[in-house]
Amino acid sequence: MANTDTKFTITIRPACAADLENIAAVHHESFARQSHSLEWVTATANGYPRMRYFVAQCGSDIVGYVVWAEKSGFRTEVVLELEQIAVLPTYRGQGIGRALVGSLLDVNEALRARGASVKAILITTRSDNHAWRLYQSALGAKVHATITDLYSADEVIMVAADPVAHLAKGAYV
């Protein structure tokens, strides 16, 4: 998948071990309250195939990533969590987050190879994070609950039922 903006071309692809330091750099710049980025990213990547990283690459640079996490065992009807998504500040507002969310179609194809498919997506995010609009428009996610003061602020729990069908309608393009 590629974004063919006139300024740059973005390629979305599965992450590999050689990407971990660059993913950690994006993590470090995007999540100021979190620490030990390389350790966190490496531990998460070591959870494959339960945890699946995709990166947004511009030229030779990693400018964003998304992590999809399978919840509650390997099932035929899979509930995924959009565990984390980040785009470097200088690349935000260019559709890269939307393209990263589109990697869900690649995850679903990989799951189909083992006879499974995505049933729903679980997302938690700060209530003041404007990214919830992306999850709503790209995946059809709806807010189901708010937990007050969970991390650094109120956190909303969103669920997208049948998100692959939502993406297939072209909602993320």
pLDDT tens digits, residue range 65-119?
Answer: 999 999 999 999 999 999 999 999 999 999 999 999 999 999 999 999 999 999 9
Q: Mean pLDDT, to the nearest integer, of 127-147?
A: 91
Tokens of 167: 């993406």
**What value does the mean pLDDT of the chain take?**
91
Going edge to edge, which strands form the sheet with 61-70? 2-4, 9-14, 51-58, 61-70, 77-87, 117-126, 155-161, 142-147
pLDDT of residue 5: 45
pLDDT at position 4 over 50: no
| Cα 146 to Cα 124: distance, rounded to the nearest angstrom | 9
| Cα 23 to Cα 31: distance, rounded to the nearest angstrom | 12
Q: What does the pLDDT look like over 10-33, one tens digit per residue?
A: 999 999 999 999 999 999 999 988
pLDDT of residue 145: 94
Q: Per-residue confidence at 127, pLDDT binned at 50, 70, 90? A: confident
Q: What is the DSSP letter of 19?
A: G
Q: Per-residue confidence at 7, pLDDT binned at 50, 70, 90? A: low
- Contact (Cβ atoms closer than 8 angstroms) between residue 55 and residue 65: yes
**Roughly how many angstroms between the first and final C-alpha of the chain, as a whole number?**
11
